[in-house]
A and B are shown apart, each in its own frame.
Chain A
Amino acid sequence: AQSVTQLGSHVSVSEGALVLLRCNYSSSVPPYLFWYVQYPNQGLQLLLKYTTGATLVKGINGFEAEFKKSETSFHLTKPSAHMSDAAEYFCAVIPTNTGNQFYFGTGTSLTVIP
């Protein structure tokens, strides 16, 4: 069965500091990988995704993520945190061989300290 693990349910960083949110997946076949952000009382918004090609993908709001097959990871980073980055972040996968449904991690709540 597919699973997604997000290490750290809560992460706090200072404004201007590096943001690193971790995501690991379990699959013998690399899935399609996504990061979504959820602001309070809003729907999930796509930050970035990896399907094929370059393993370093850039998304909106200065975020990027790198697919590392050897580590089964897809960690999300941003060089300098902004107050507006405070939100819940979800890593998700779609198995490439079984269908279209997402499997989500449990989420990481990011707090940015001024």
Chain B
Amino acid sequence: GAGVSQTPSNKVTEKGKYVELRCDPISGHTALYWYRQSLGQGPEFLIYFQGTGAADDSGLPNDRFFAVRPEGSVSTLKIQRTERGDSAVYLCASSSTGSDTQYFGPGTRLTVL
């Protein structure tokens, strides 16, 4: 079946602009995760959804970052007033209820000029 998909694959924006990154999880997966991977680093946790609600948003770096999952499927990560330090690959993962295995999408590479 289809895996986790993320769009766009690449996004270039200017400092101060607003961006939205989209994640389509595997069909039926109730849990959805966002991670950020900076160059030369491992992925860092941002936020975790169980269904429509954010069960853990402790990884969001500041209030410029926000994520939604209104219908419990697709999720959008929103970044306001982007900064050059936000440049990274943003990864999305999903898992089924009760499973500890997360399936990752290919990521969105965000570049803030």
Contact = CB atoms under 8 A, between A and B. Distances in A.
A41 interface: yes
A29 to B, nearest CB: 15
B103 to A, nearest CB: 8
Contacts of B3: 43
B14 interface: no
Given A41-B106, A44-B91, A106-B40, A101 B101 contact: no
Q: How large is the interface on A (under 10, 10 to 19, 20 to 34, 35 or more residues)?
A: 20 to 34
A67 B105 CA distance: 27
Interface string B39-67: 01111110010000001100100000000
Nearest to A91: B42
Contact of A43 (B33, B44, B105): B105
Interface string B1-41: 00110000000000000000000000000010101000011
Given A43-B107, A46-B103, A100-B55, 6 more contacts: A4-B42, A43-B3, A100-B56, A101-B33, A101-B56, A106-B41
